[in-house]
Amino acid sequence: MAVYVDVLFLRELLVDGAILLTTAWARHIKAKPWRILAASALGACYVLLMFFPQLSFMFTLVVKLLISFFMVWIAYGFSSVQHYIRNIAAFYAVNFVAAGAVLGIYYLFMQGSGEVWRTIALVGGSMQVELKMGLVYFFAAFCLGLYLYRAVLAQKRERELVHTHIAEVKVTIDERVQACTGLIDTGNQLYDPLTRTPVMIMEAAEWIDVFPDNWLSVIQSGDVDKLLAGMNAETFPWQHRLRLVPYRGVNRGAQFMLALKPDLVQIVYEGQVFETHKVLIGLDGGKLAADGAYQAIVHPSLVHTGS
């Protein structure tokens, strides 16, 4: 049986490169091409060591783990222990998912148990499984890869669109300055109907240390009008800054949003600094972004007035 070392090296280089690139995408890492190529080359060279019987000790579990750790270090660098461990976990997760997909598609297209047993052989008392990839398998893998590519591309475009509308926000109330990341949402047209003041929505959890103990749960339930009953300056020092802004929720009737009147709001967007005093901070009881990418939704009018 002839073994083409160059073909084997190229195949492993492409497979390792694809896994490393997928891991970088999953971890939102902008990996440099030369790092990915160097890490993939290390993995491909490691596979070629199987042709040297005297180096059989290199295929122990410990060495395999060390090689994979070194590949991750080459591909993405080392900024912190926590970041490095997360990269390793993502690398192995992608490996396991890819291996499971290959086996799943392969056995999915098998017809009968006879084909399964033809892939199994007993060698030296141990069982070995051989995968024979036919035309049907490659066609199915190609279709799955095309679907995943389209899904990944769509998600990437969505993240890029969100990223282009990200701004840094600073809210000043008395001596407190609360900084967070905000998303400029052109669909946010919420105004205070009495004063026509734009409302910037912000996660109430950002002010958790200022609010009384039960406020966050009440805001989450939507019964914010109950908070104003029996309130005094001792209960909440910013009582005079509280507002109730009516709005209509999705599939629900008219509701009230608890809002704060800040002294100043600064928004840094595309290298420009926008400052405004005429704004209300609407408090949302949940998380505005599931991945925590932003904690506020900026009213579009706030980045078009005064810089």
Residues annotated as catalytic (active site), given as ranges: 185
- The answer for residues whose C-beta is within 8 angstroms of residue 110's C-beta and 6 or more apart is 116
The Cα–Cα gap between 290 and 288 comes to: 7
Q: Are 128 and 120 in contact (CB under 8 A)?
A: yes
The Cα–Cα gap between 307 and 300 comes to: 14
Q: How far is CA 55 from CA 50, 58, 158, 293, in A?
A: 7, 6, 48, 48
**How would you label 53-63 residue by residue, b for 16+ Cβ within 10 Å and e otherwise?**
eeeeeeeeeee
Residue position matching structure tokens 């893998």: 141
Would you state the torsion angle of the CA atoms of residues 248, 250, 253, 255, taken in this order, to the nearest 10 degrees? Answer: -50
